[in-house]
């Protein structure tokens, strides 16, 4: 027979042992992966090449707002057994939930073809370094279809695992590690090769304008409200409850710090060695790094680019698919057919548009403009919904927003309205006017 005292001591030791660190993180890492995508890499590189080190504060401000909304999502997911849009439907009505679901779906679909183009660019740039010119010339036409294979892999991943969240969390941890290593090594090479010391350019921060609406593009690639809203779903999938609120807040902070760290590494790399060079996309960034860093420059950057683009593949499509299914009242759990079907739909749309761009030279601008028009309404509406939900005592109990959280949240909401206005008047309306003028 076992010793009762020994058994009791063993039980007490188990209860007293601290929770392992990897049990206290997960959703925030996944959100960091989806935020750091091809768009944020391009924007961060462009800002670094144009403004040097002077605008690093913009990233930090954007991350503070992102962290605020991620923490709100983490608390909501921990204290409620219902999905966010189910609660909205119950309290306000189905139309609002449907509107948020459709808006998020369109935003995710627009991001998705950008992720496809990012993977395509990373694969083709890497082929320059691993294949001979003759072999690359032969295989290049087939590389156009590499995104089909990667999308098939993403769909298989989505459908194969019974515990999808557990598999996703482990995979995203690997991608975060890849991005950190790749971009940190790139930054190390950059600082070793840069001419003026970083301190010289840091002085420019004092001369930078306090408000420049062109900076909203940089904020918009970091402060992604639909991703913060999805934090609620990930927390529920992980199985956290009210007792895990502290873990959820820590996880959101860790994810936000990783976003800031990776974004700043990319920006500082461009500021150190690509200053003054016009960078239209991530392919040009990779090409410019090759002669500066030697044989390792382009492969390192493209490894980070691939990790950023492909890690967004599945998560971004899940954001659109899950929130749309939830808005329509069809479910919000990974094991429900509607959520997986909607997620696959986002993947297929993104791949289809990307193939049209790659193979037929299709102009993606109309699709981008349509998504931007939806974002003008959907982003502020989603932010308002999360603020409203987390301030309701009948939903949150004692875990409603504190005054500082509300101050940051409403400031972030105003910032989203400013970005929506900028998108509407500086991007959407001018392009629509040009199309109307050129239409016979």
Q: How far apart are CA 16 and CA 31, in angstroms?
A: 31
Q: Which of 312, 251, 245 is nearest to 70 (CA)?
A: 251
Using CA atoms, how far residue 21 sits from 24, 25, 231, in Å, is 5, 7, 19
pLDDT of amino acid 291: 59
pLDDT attached to residue 54: 83
pLDDT reported for residue 210: 45
Structure confidence at residue 115 (pLDDT) = 83
| C-beta of residue 251 within 8 angstroms of C-beta of residue 25 | yes
Asked if 309 and 154 count as a contact pair (C-beta separation under 8 A), the reply is: no
Q: What is the pLDDT of residue 294?
A: 64
3-state secondary structure of 17: coil
- Residue-level pLDDT at 99: 93
Q: Which residues contact 17 (CB under 8 A, 6 or more apart)?
A: none
Q: Which CATH architecture has domain 25-394+412-438?
A: Up-down Bundle (1.20)
- The token duo for 43 is 């924007």
Q: What is the pLDDT along the chain (440 residues), one digit of tens a residue?
A: 444 444 444 333 333 344 565 567 899 999 999 898 877 888 888 888 888 888 889 899 999 999 999 999 999 999 998 999 999 999 999 999 999 999 999 889 888 888 888 888 888 877 776 777 777 777 877 788 888 998 999 999 988 888 899 999 999 999 889 889 888 888 887 777 665 544 555 455 445 454 555 576 778 888 999 999 999 999 999 989 899 899 999 999 999 999 999 999 988 888 888 777 777 666 667 666 665 666 677 777 888 888 888 888 889 999 999 999 999 999 999 889 999 999 999 999 989 988 888 888 777 667 666 766 777 788 899 999 999 999 999 999 999 999 999 999 999 999 999 888 887 787 777 777 776 677 65
User: Residue 13: its pLDDT value, please?
Assistant: 36
pLDDT at 21: 58
Q: What whole-number distance in Å separates Cα of residue 52 and Cα of residue 360?
A: 37
């Amino acid at each position: 027979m076992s010793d009762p005292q020994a058994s009791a001591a063993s039980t007490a030791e188990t209860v007293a042992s601290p929770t392992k660190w990897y049990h206290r993180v997960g959703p925030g890492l996944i959100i960091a992966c989806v935020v750091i995508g091809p768009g944020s890499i391009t924007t961060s590189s462009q800002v670094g090449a144009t403004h040097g080190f002077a605008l690093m504060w913009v990233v930090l401000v954007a991350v503070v707002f992102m962290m605020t909304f991620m923490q709100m999502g983490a608390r909501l997911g921990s204290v409620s057994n219902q999905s966010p849009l189910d609660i909205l439907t119950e309290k306000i009505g189905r139309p609002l939930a449907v509107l948020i679901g459709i808006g998020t779906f369109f935003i995710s679909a627009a991001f998705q073809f950008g992720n496809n183009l990012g993977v395509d660019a990373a694969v083709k740039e890497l082929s320059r370094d691993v294949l001979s010119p003759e072999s690359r010339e032969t295989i290049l036409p087939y590389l156009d279809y590499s995104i089909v294979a990667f999308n098939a892999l993403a769909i298989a991943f989505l459908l194969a695992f019974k515990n999808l969240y557990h598999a996703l969390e482990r995979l995203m941890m690997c991608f975060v590690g890849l991005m950190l290593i790749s971009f940190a090594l790139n930054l190390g090479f950059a600082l070793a090769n840069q001419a003026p010391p970083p301190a010289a350019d840091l002085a420019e921060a004092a001369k930078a304008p306090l408000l420049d609406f062109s900076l909203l593009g940089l904020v918009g690639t970091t402060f992604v409200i639909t991703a913060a809203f999805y934090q609620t779903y990930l927390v529920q999938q992980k199985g956290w409850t009210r007792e895990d609120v502290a873990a959820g807040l820590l996880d959101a902070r860790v994810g936000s710090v990783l976003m800031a760290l990776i974004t700043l590494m990319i920006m500082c790399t461009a500021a150190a060695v690509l200053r003054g060079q016009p960078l239209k996309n991530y392919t040009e960034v990779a090409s410019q790094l090759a002669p500066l860093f030697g044989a390792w420059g382009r492969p390192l950057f493209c490894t980070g680019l691939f990790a950023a683009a492909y890690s967004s593949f599945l998560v971004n499509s899940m954001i659109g698919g899950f929130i749309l299914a939830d808005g329509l009242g069809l479910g919000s759990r990974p094991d429900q057919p509607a959520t997986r079907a909607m997620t696959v739909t986002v993947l297929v749309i993104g791949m289809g548009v990307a193939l049209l761009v790659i193979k037929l030279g299709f102009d993606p601008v109309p699709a981008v403009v349509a998504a931007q028009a939806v974002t003008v309404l959907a982003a502020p509406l989603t932010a308002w919904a999360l603020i409203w939900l987390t301030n309701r005592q009948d939903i949150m109990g004692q875990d409603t927003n504190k005054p500082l959280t509300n101050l940051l949240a409403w400031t972030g909401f105003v910032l989203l309205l400013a970005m929506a206005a900028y998108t509407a008047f500086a991007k959407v309306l001018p392009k629509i006017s040009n199309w109307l003028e050129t239409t016979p």
